[in-house]
A and B are shown apart, each in its own frame.
Chain A
């Protein structure tokens, strides 16, 4: 895995898709090309209460990325210094092999340029000291990004507080 971690706090996510739109805006992508996507599952009733999940699916930036192995031209690469998996558009010939290879559907087709585009954690933004586009605009700040060991410990925090107060326990359910 890359040295980074993208944390999505499900409890705060409202499935608004602002992350997806900011991603597309930042990369200037046409309709149909979606490097990150929020998949909504539900709502469904659990014990009489409606609950929904919003699964945030960017690229996972694998340790041994199948897309990189599959790429015949070397366009798909893993950045040495931090493990970000990205496409070099100068080398991409649009063969789509990476799209087939990825088990998660991360590489996307950009019909406007006839090449693949994918989540690269907005490495130009990261290199400029900024956060990825999706994380920056996230409506509820449910997305966090950083080096894995610096990620907020919301789950533990919440659990501890719920343990300490019966009031909070109701909210944790």
Chain B
């Protein structure tokens, strides 16, 4: 179960690109191409309504997902309140709420 992974203990020590499963990430980029525009500025996390209390970091979660570590942060996604502020501030126009939705969809599938 993905829920048993803690936030910090489950992180792998390195990103071994050769061994990671990139299918989920590729699918995500396919379904929501705007995610490619992310420059990792952190505006989304900075404005996030859930972040101050929960430490939820959408930028990091989505980056790990794109690196091929799809399952590692799934429990994190459950902190999101879906308020939409992230999408409102993103300087690159990434449809972040759809990215959230799709990440969950891909993991659950």
A binds B: no
Chain A residues within CB distance 8 Å of chain B: none
- B interface vs A, CB < 8 Å? none
